[in-house]
Amino acid sequence: MGDAKDAVRVPRIILTVTALEFFGPIVRDTGVGHLMNPFWDGHARVHLVWLLGLMGTMGLVSLYLLWLRRPADVRDVHLAALLQCCNLAGFWIAYFLCPLYVGVIFVPGVHTKLFGWDENVFGFTMFTLAIGTAIALLARARRASA
């Protein structure tokens, strides 16, 4: 069991860092750029709070699976990675479908550019690469233990 724990230590650390993304929108999207935007109707605000609540609880579940669940099991690390993939998929679906619903990713004055990319696209690209790395390390650990 010690070897399995050692094999998933780095993926657990990576997934802990990427789990923080669940909480970023709770901080960033509750101001006038989103939740308190006077041009949004009340029903759109309900959907945003719903989404933020879902993201926050998924983040807590992800951290629980990574560090607090007892007895610890490698399957919990896989489940945390799956939850985080669902979060990533939601962003990428919204991003790629923008033309269909006239969505806008970059809002001047609200978002910034990082290396010429919108901060959200840059951040989610980095999260995708990090979670992909964690999943690859988990797969390698599984192959090594088989």
Q: pLDDT tens for the chain, 146 residues: list them.
A: 456 667 899 999 999 999 999 999 999 899 988 999 999 999 999 999 999 999 999 999 999 999 999 887 889 999 999 999 999 999 999 999 999 999 999 888 878 899 999 999 999 999 999 999 999 999 998 888 77
Pairing of strands 113-114, 117-118: antiparallel
Q: Which residues form the domain of 42?
A: 2-145
pTM listed for this prediction: 0.88
Q: Give the total number of structural domains in the chain.
A: 1
